[in-house]
Amino acid sequence: MLRAVPLALAAALLLALSVSGTAPAAGYSKHCIPIRFAGTNYPVWVTQGATSCKTARRTLLSFMKTKKQPRNWVCFRGYAGVVFAASCARRPGTGKAAVLRAYNPGYGG
């Protein structure tokens, strides 16, 4: 039963984050310096919350490189036409809510 809780939480997070798959609206988000992974630059945005660009970039790049969940974050890769390459949300109870995204080239600035 306890194993189903993290899976259900991850599925709910995936659904909630994938619903808004377009580039962030101006004035609502913070645009950060892109990260470089596998020879490609990915625009980084803090789409919700007040996380620093340094934290956003470090968290997303760590996840993309290692495929492991960074401490205090739940992350997943974007697939099947989703405009972001990776998205991370702060785990509940580990700080203020935040959503980070590394967009595919050509999306998100």
59 contacts: CB under 8 Å, gap ≥ 6: 70, 73, 75, 88, 100
Q: What is the pLDDT of residues 6-62, one digit of tens each?
A: 544 444 444 344 444 455 544 458 999 999 999 999 999 999 998 999 999 999 999
How many domains would you assign to the chain?
1
| pLDDT at residue 52, as a whole number | 95
Residue 108 lies in a domain: no
Phi, psi of 33 (to 5 degrees): -65, 140
Q: How far is residue 92's CA from residue 61's CA, in Å, rounded to a whole number?
A: 21
What domain range is 83 assigned to?
Answer: 4-103
76 contacts: CB under 8 Å, gap ≥ 6: 10, 13, 14, 17, 86, 87
Q: What is the pLDDT of residues 82-94, one digit of tens each?
A: 899 999 999 999 9
| pLDDT at residue 77, as a whole number | 94
